[in-house]
Amino acid sequence: MANVKKFGEAVVITSGAKLEDIRKIAKYRPEKLVLMGGEDGKEPIFAVGLSGNRSGSINKYSIDFGGCDENGLAQVTVAYTGPAEGVKEALADSIGPQVMMLTKLEDSFRGVLDEINADVNRIMESITIG
């Protein structure tokens, strides 16, 4: 599950997933980085991505990770522009939905990575170098 910390005027969201794992999913199964919803379950409602910007970004529809912590967990850093009082409540109100949707996607990553690794291993076994 994602972790949220506020340091001065910055908010750091740390994913429960490693940045390298998100990169691997983006390469082999990018559709697994999109949370589907709506009436028919076929409408994209939230996505995880990778940013070329070191700090990353977050909005109503997506979170783009730009870096990682010392353990390799994906991170995004954004400026805090909320009130000085009731900071926890303000953060929960402003980024809570995105953190919840991120957590739903993260829950599926282990199974997706297992599938990808199995497929890559089969490909590697089929390669002959002579």
Segment 45-60, tens digit of pLDDT: 999 999 888 889 999 9
pTM of the model: 0.89
Per the structure, the complete domain to which residue 95 belongs is given by 3-126
CA dihedral sign, ordered 47, 90, 5, 103: negative
pLDDT-derived band at 98, boundaries 50, 70, 90:
very high
Segment 17-36, tens digit of pLDDT: 999 999 999 999 999 999 99
Place of tokens 């028919």: 40
The pLDDT score that the predictor gives to residue 99 is: 95
Total structural domains within the chain? 1
Residue 3 structure tokens: 């972790």
Report how far residue 56's alpha carbon sits from residue 69's, in angstroms, rounded to the nearest whole number: 13
pLDDT-derived band at 122, boundaries 50, 70, 90:
very high
Segment 40-96, tens digit of pLDDT: 989 999 999 998 888 899 999 999 999 999 999 999 999 988 888 899 999 999 999
Sheet with 10-18: strands ordered across: 3-7, 10-18, 73-79, 67-68
